[in-house]
A and B are shown apart, each in its own frame.
Chain A
């Protein structure tokens, strides 16, 4: 009489199926197929997608790229705990580099609204989480991997990058900045 006894049919595959079960399975399967289809459809028609571009790198190589960009395009500095952090305004459409390390994001960026940039992200040490607030875009930053994603800011103001992958004792102090101007 129950699920804790052997089934009455010794070959369970031959037991009959009730009507609501069949109807429900069909409805649920259709919904599952729709959910699957939404992902490729969004790649075609949607504007927010994940990057498919990434490279193996090393902390030394990556830091060199960040420093090269910073040297060329720094427009001002901002003091953080007595240290001057460069604010970099790279040209629209260019490659923009940002690195994560214990426990800061470097450098700060100044971008133009409506322009598209190729944003590169990597870590010099442990894993970190790029969480752009209050927009709420979240990416995993993995050391030795350089993620490249295009990004088009469509709002202006001051935006904060929170680290949302636990990275040790000062994890909660690790925030960075992106400024978007007209």
Chain B
């Protein structure tokens, strides 16, 4: 069999072994998304007070499974596909040790199935965080451990591929920015999985009776080294995809390689222990520790995200302006391909991740402000904006690109696909905003009945204000819309894979990157090394701004950020004095 397939539409090289692994991981991810999505609907319909679908024990079980499938399994399977793509395809290199990669994949599948079995047997409704001393069944932890080991193998296959590419000189100069971002994700993943091993292996041993007890606070500190850092893997991965889509859809060039890459480096250096902001309302950890570790005195990881927030849309603006869309501040944006789900999904993701997920994350991660937010419904409101609007929506958008390029199928129902990012993104935005609204009124997260009917029967009455119930209803509506958007996504992708027309030769679906295409689609010859474009330095150093529209948008973000930040301090100042 020939070693490489050259995609005639995109000019991308696919190592055949790597290609199968990308497909397998993407499909496994989609299955996890399907499971997570169905469970999401059940959770949403239960927390909608007037529907209140499931009973209490089913609700807690389903909520546990929803978190683990949607947040961990779907995303990490898809990230494995991204790692293999960013290394072997972008560097035109054979994938290192494909057999090990398959072993990793197999372990991840076994682990994912095992943990799901444990949860649905009913004795492991411990939520994703499985806080000790609440105990799950041993195979709950074991499944998570196997899954993590599999993912770790995938990370090393990625790193090995980078080594081979360097050794065999398959590219010239530095690795591409997208690969650099994927490398960032991989490095954070290795750290994350190490934290996971440090806490999950003892938890497993404790669940089978070998270890006597697990200190609850130690569990929290170390578990969040896994729990939060894993979200940083997602951020690094989806920001890389943003850059990739800007390049693919617009031929956009990063505004400055130096700035974008430095921002990725800041993620590595300043994110890890930022898991401290999950411990802000805990006893036994000092304020000095909390303040320092939540910010490292300068919030440089936040700075990094603020930089990407400017440079990704900025690079699109520069590319659009070069094409002649130079009128006013926003012609480049108005005339962007809003009907193309690859672009619209990513752009919606950039905006909602920044304005909703990013701002609220920093606000609730502020030591004292956490007092009015910790463990309320505000918290899932925030992370649905970061993880779902940020990562999931971005991965969905990328999938629309992968259907023709990786799976060589024409997309079915392109008319519906146009609307999918808006439906999914819109529903999820409603859900996030009203979760946070309800959380601001004190509504707790992970709670079956905020009407407290059972407590009232015992004589303990409490009701949240009527506005909280209304907001929970709106969360329910947002859930239904988002689930519908998710269902359409799966319908289109799975449908395209099964019934889409096979693309044999170039269908002219995507612009090529100006790379010379081989006559045949398949080759075993060593590809020409990937080269960067010729330097065109004259673009920089001009007296004017290259991307004034984006700069204005960034200032709007900043003003929103500042106003919202101080509103929360004001709210904090109204609660009972304490200290």
Point out residues on A near B: beta carbons under 8 Å.
1-21, 23-25, 27-29, 31-33, 35-36, 38-40, 42-43, 46-52, 54, 56, 78-81, 116, 121, 125-127, 129, 131-147, 149-155, 160, 162-177
A-B contact pairs, 24 of them (CB 8 A): A12-B258, A21-B307, A35-B366, A36-B299, A42-B367, A49-B579, A50-B367, A50-B370, A79-B459, A80-B459, A80-B460, A132-B576, A138-B371, A138-B376, A139-B281, A144-B216, A144-B217, A149-B578, A152-B576, A152-B577, A153-B576, A164-B374, A165-B131, A172-B452
Per-residue contact bits, chain B 391-416, to A (CB 8 Å; 1 contact, 0 not): 00000000000000000000000000
Are the C-beta atoms of A51 and B371 separated by less than 8 Å?
Answer: no
CB-CB nearest in chain B for A9 = B535
For residue B280, which residues in chain A have a CB less than 8 angstroms away from its CB? 50
> Are A28 and B303 neighbours in the complex by a CB distance under 8 Å?
yes
- A137 touching B372 in the complex, CB below 8 Å, given contacts A1-B251, A1-B533, A169-B60: yes
> Could you tell me if B458 and A4 are in contact, using CB atoms closer than 8 angstroms?
no
**CA–CA, A42 to B368, complex, Å?**
8
A11 cross-chain contacts in B, Cβ below 8 A: 174
Residue in contact with B578 in the complex, picked from A48, A163, A164, CB distance below 8 Å: A48
A164 touches B376 (CB 8 A): yes
Could you say which residues of chain B place their CB within 8 Å of the CB of A79? 459
Q: Are B460 and A175 in contact (CB under 8 A)?
A: yes
In the assembled complex, the Cα of A142 lies from the Cα of B248 at a distance in Å of 49
Task: Give 3 nearest A-B pairs by CB, closest first.
Answer: A2-B247, A81-B458, A10-B173
Q: Are B220 and A18 in contact (CB under 8 A)?
A: no
A28–B540 Cα distance when bound, in Å, is: 21
| A46: min CB distance to chain B, Å | 6
A3 near B177 (CB under 8 angstroms)? yes
Number of A-B contacts (CB under 8 A): 360
Chain A residue at minimum C-beta to C-beta distance from B555 = A27
Chain A residues within 8 Å of B533, by CB: 1-2, 5, 8
Closest to B460 in A: A175
Q: Is the CB of A129 within 8 A of B535?
A: no
B442 touches A47 (CB 8 A): no
- Chain A residues whose CB sits within 8 angstroms of the CB of B176 once the complex forms: 3-7
When distances are taken between beta carbons in the complex, the residues of chain B under 8 Å from A165 are 131, 375, 446
Across-interface contacts of A9 in B (CB, < 8 A): 173, 257, 532, 535
Q: Min CB distance, B265 to chain A, in Å?
A: 11
Interface residues of B (CB under 8 A from A): 56-57, 60, 90, 125, 127, 131, 133-134, 171-178, 215-217, 220, 243-244, 246-248, 251-261, 279-284, 286-287, 290-291, 294-295, 297-300, 302-303, 306-307, 310-311, 314-315, 362, 366-368, 370-376, 440-442, 444-450, 452, 454-455, 457-460, 462, 464-465, 513-514, 530-537, 540-548, 550-551, 554, 558, 561-562, 565, 569, 572-573, 575-579
Nearest Cβ on chain B to A36's Cβ, whole angstroms = 5
Given the known inter-chain contacts A32-B299, A171-B448, A172-B454, please indicate yes or no for A18 contacting B576, CB distance below 8 A: no
Q: Contact between B371 and A145 (Cβ–Cβ < 8 Å)?
A: no
The answer to whether B578 and A35 touch across the interface, beta carbons within 8 angstroms, is no
Could you say which residues of chain A place their CB within 8 Å of the CB of B455? 172-175
- Report the nearest A residue to B296, measured CB to CB: A36
Cβ–Cβ contact A140 & B375, under 8 A: yes
Q: Which of B302, B372, B532 contacts A6 (CB 8 A)?
A: B532
Q: For residue B551, which residues in chain A have a CB less than 8 angstroms away from its CB?
A: 20, 23-24
CB distance from B12 to the nearest CB of A (A): 8
